[in-house]
Amino acid sequence: MKSTLDEQLKELGEDLQVKSQAKGELKRRVLQNAAAPRKNHGRKYVWAVAAVCLLVLTSPFYSTTMAGIASKILPLDIRSSLSDGGGTNITRDLYEMVEKEGYMLNSVGVTPSPYTIEINLILDGGTLKDAQDHLTPLVETYLNENGYDQYELVFSEMEEMPSYEDADETGILLEQINEIAVEIFTAYGYAEEAAQLGIGLNKTEPAYTATLDMPDHITEADKIVADMKKEFKERDIKVKGIEVQTFNLAHRQQDNRWGMIASDIYDAMAGKSAYQVSGLSYKVKKGHTYVWLKTDFTKRPGGELIREIEEAVQKYLAAPETAEIIQNDAYTIQLLLKDKTPFLEVTN
């Protein structure tokens, strides 16, 4: 990471050769973006956008240097994935972008440390290199426009399509088992719990064994399992048994809530060199949620950056859509140095 913003600006000036046609195109794009309705984030945000627009209008393309500068100028904005329009959903956006270019996709995935974006294509004619050459500039433009400047981009090809027969058989069987489970749990008065069930399959010749993950407070568990087996037999479903595991419903629901919240916070900072985020973990213990965001900082970053992160996290947690999810959960969110020493804590 460059030591100062001035050094990056100097490097940018040396690298770029301004072409009037490209500058005009970028100006049109920025003005279009500026015309779109946005929430008011205050004067600080307006000044930041103006600064980034100035950088954009004086360069013919978006470079990683440009993205690095943008990531340091634009204030951190953490948005709920449940809010109107959501935040920047990188996998969703890239999936849609690649599909619009006429390619079939198996998956778009993001993995941390190093922050890696993998686009797995299903190619029907053409080579992976052709697809990569076509898509790379489009993907990099999107990433740079959104402040990503610390990432690896990987394209791969799905080498072998999964067997349709096996996938279809398993999918149909899971759907049948889930339908039976929901019907029976609901009949016993556990409609809410039915939505939290975990159902899987283990293939054991010549039939399958079903796995059922269910809440531990259900007193009629044995009767429910017996009724499910009876339904399997009556509908001639080739499942020879049910393996049951239990969980605490309140714990599971809290865990699910904070999985989304932790991801929102991580996603807003990952892939941007200003924040050096390298990993995320969380757990719920005795009703208290702990979230840890690991960074590559070897020493405590400057106070201004810490204040920016803390303010953004507090603002996100206080937003109505987030507060509604949190309910009365106790929580502690920590950002850690590379040696796992906390340098920022947000807690209630």
| Residues 119, 110 contacting (CB under 8 angstroms) | no
Q: Tell me, yes or no, whether 272 lies in a domain.
A: yes
For the stretch 82-96, pLDDT in tens is 766 555 689 999 999
Lowest average pLDDT, out of 37-51, 150-164, 199-213, goes to 37-51
Q: Tell me, yes or no, whether 78 lies in a domain.
A: no
Q: What is the pLDDT of residue 82?
A: 78
Count of domains for the chain: 4
Q: What is the pLDDT of residue 66?
A: 53
In the chain, DSSP finds a helix count (H) and a strand count (E) of 12, 10
Q: Tell me, yes or no, whether 137 lies in a domain.
A: yes
From residue 340, alpha-carbon distances to 195, 250, 344 in Å are 37, 29, 11
Q: Do 340 and 262 lie in a common domain?
A: yes
Kindly tell me if the per-residue pLDDT of 31 is higher than 80: no
Kindly tell me if the per-residue pLDDT of 49 is higher than 90: no
Q: Do 171 and 239 lie in a common domain?
A: yes
Q: What is the CATH number of the domain that holds 107?
A: 3.30.300.70
Could you tell me which residues come within 8 angstroms of residue 59 by beta carbon, excluding any fewer than 6 positions away?
A: 12, 16, 18, 23, 26, 66
DSSP letter for each residue of 200-220? EEEEETTEEEEEEEEETT-TT
What's the mean pLDDT in 18-24? 40
Mean pLDDT rounded to a whole number for the chain: 82
Q: Do 135 and 207 lie in a common domain?
A: no
What's the mean pLDDT in 54-72? 50
Kindly tell me if the per-residue pLDDT of 114 is higher than 80: yes
Q: Among 163, 177, 139, which Cα is nearest to 62's?
A: 139
Domain ranges, residue 44: 5-73
Q: Do 284 and 338 lie in a common domain?
A: yes
Q: Do 177 and 236 lie in a common domain?
A: yes
For the stretch 275-303, pLDDT in tens is 999 999 999 999 999 999 999 999 999 99
Q: What is the pLDDT of residue 303?
A: 94
Q: What is the pLDDT of residue 69?
A: 55
Q: What is the pLDDT of residue 60?
A: 46
Q: Do 231 and 260 lie in a common domain?
A: no
120-136 as b/e, with b when 16 or more CB fall inside 10 Å?
Answer: ebeeeeeeeeebbeebe
Spatial distance between the Cα atoms of 145 and 30, rounded to a whole number of angstroms: 10
Q: Do 284 and 227 lie in a common domain?
A: no
Q: What is the pLDDT of residue 20?
A: 39
For the stretch 215-269, pLDDT in tens is 999 999 999 999 999 999 999 998 989 999 999 999 999 999 999 999 999 999 9
Q: What is the pLDDT of residue 194?
A: 94
Q: What is the pLDDT of residue 117?
A: 96
Sheet holding 104-111, edge to edge: 104-111, 116-122, 152-157
Lowest average pLDDT, out of 66-70, 267-271, 308-312, goes to 66-70
Q: What is the pLDDT of residue 273?
A: 94
For 62, the enclosing helix (H) or strand (E) is none
For the stretch 141-175, pLDDT in tens is 999 988 899 999 999 998 876 655 556 778 889 99
Q: Tell me, yes or no, whether 340 lies in a domain.
A: yes
Say whether pTM exceeds 0.85: no
| Residues 273, 150 contacting (CB under 8 angstroms) | yes
Spatial distance between the Cα atoms of 25 and 22, rounded to a whole number of angstroms: 5
> Which of 227, 247, 267 is the endpoint of a domain?
247
Q: Do 236 and 185 lie in a common domain?
A: yes
For 287, the enclosing helix (H) or strand (E) is none
